[in-house]
Amino acid sequence: MKLLVVSAALLSASLAFANPHELPYTYTTESLPKGALEVEQYADLTPVSYVNTTGAKVFTLRSILTTEFEYGISNKLELGLYFQMSNDPADPSGSAPFGFDGIKQRLRYRLAAPGKWPVDVGFYLEIAELRNEFELEWKVLLQRRVGPVGFMVNLWAEHESYYDNHQEWVINPTAGVTWQIHPVFHLGLEFWMHAEWGTTTKDAITNFNNSPHYMLGPAVMFEFGRFWWSTGAYVRLDGLDEGIGLGSQWGHVWIRTMLGIEI
């Protein structure tokens, strides 16, 4: 019994150091403590269709792989560095090889200690240098915890400047609720959307990709001391009765899975 009590105490103490994502798309206002370093690896997966080298329509996974390094500059300010890769199932060659997309840098800052205000508030600023565009991204992070239940909202927008001189605005607001059922297990429900403005085209698939899409689904997180794993599976609420057109970047289902470890 004493061994179990000591083990539980050590686990609870170690949980305070990690900075997990209870909801894969929605950032919390909490940040890493000063001097802490965490590595995160996450993958976005959605089934889409393309034409292979024989001319047949087949389905494959559109995938985005991102590695992030987070560092606590202070107890309120956190630095993040991202390295992103993705594939392109709509490539005319009929293949879908992974390519390096580019890098991102961001800062996350919280205004007060968690729970000090009725609603916790944080800010997020990101700069991205990708292979075909330059991005500026802003988020306002809002959070309220009531016992084991947490309510979170991210007001999220970005401006994309493409190297061919056209520009776009993108909004990606997110919201969700989580319930800490056990010290190592969280269950949640998350909503997010994506919409782009600025591209004028007669291409139906491009217009579809840029139009508003709404995703909703459950999320789970397991937290084991300095290591955590979070996964969300989302259903696209718009166009449920439509097939997936060739070149679409949005399948009917979207999955994000994340692993994090403090080092």
Predicted confidence at residue 90, as pLDDT, reads: 62
Can you tell me which residue has the tokens 């439509």? 242
Distance CA 135, CA 20 (A): 25
**What radius of gyration do the chain's Cα atoms show?**
20
Whether 201 contacts 207, CB under 8 Å:
yes
Element containing residue 149 per DSSP (H, E): strand 149-162
At 12, list the tokens.
């609870």
Predicted confidence at residue 48, as pLDDT, reads: 85
Can you tell me which residue has the tokens 């209870």? 22
Predicted confidence at residue 207, as pLDDT, reads: 85
Predicted confidence at residue 203, as pLDDT, reads: 78
Whether 33 contacts 73, CB under 8 Å:
no
Per-domain residue ranges of the chain: 2-262
Element containing residue 159 per DSSP (H, E): strand 149-162
Q: Is 200 helix (H, G, I), strand (E, B) or coil?
A: coil
With 0-12 CB in 10 A as exposed, 13-18 as middle and 19+ as buried, what is 32?
Answer: buried
Predicted confidence at residue 174, as pLDDT, reads: 98
Q: Does domain 2-262 have CATH number 2.40.160.40?
A: yes
Predicted confidence at residue 225, as pLDDT, reads: 87
> Which of these, 127, 147, 52, 45, lies nearest to 87 by C-alpha position?
45
Taking the model in full, what pTM does it have? 0.88
Distance CA 243, CA 51 (A): 15
Q: How many residues does the chain have?
A: 263
What are 50-100's pLDDT values in tens digits? Answer: 766 666 777 788 899 999 999 999 999 999 999 999 987 765 554 567 899
At 89, list the tokens.
């199932």
List the alpha helices (DSSP H) in the chain: 2-15, 204-210
Predicted confidence at residue 19, as pLDDT, reads: 84
Distance CA 102, CA 85 (A): 7
Predicted confidence at residue 57, as pLDDT, reads: 72
> Which of these, 130, 63, 133, lies nearest to 102 by C-alpha position?
130
Interstrand relation of 227-236 and 213-224 (parallel, antiparallel or unpaired)? antiparallel
Element containing residue 174 per DSSP (H, E): strand 174-182
Distance CA 135, CA 151 (A): 28
Whether 150 contacts 178, CB under 8 Å:
yes
In this prediction, the residues of the chain whose per-residue pLDDT falls under 50 are: 1-16, 94
What are 180-193's pLDDT values in tens digits? Answer: 999 999 999 999 99
At 29, list the tokens.
């206002």
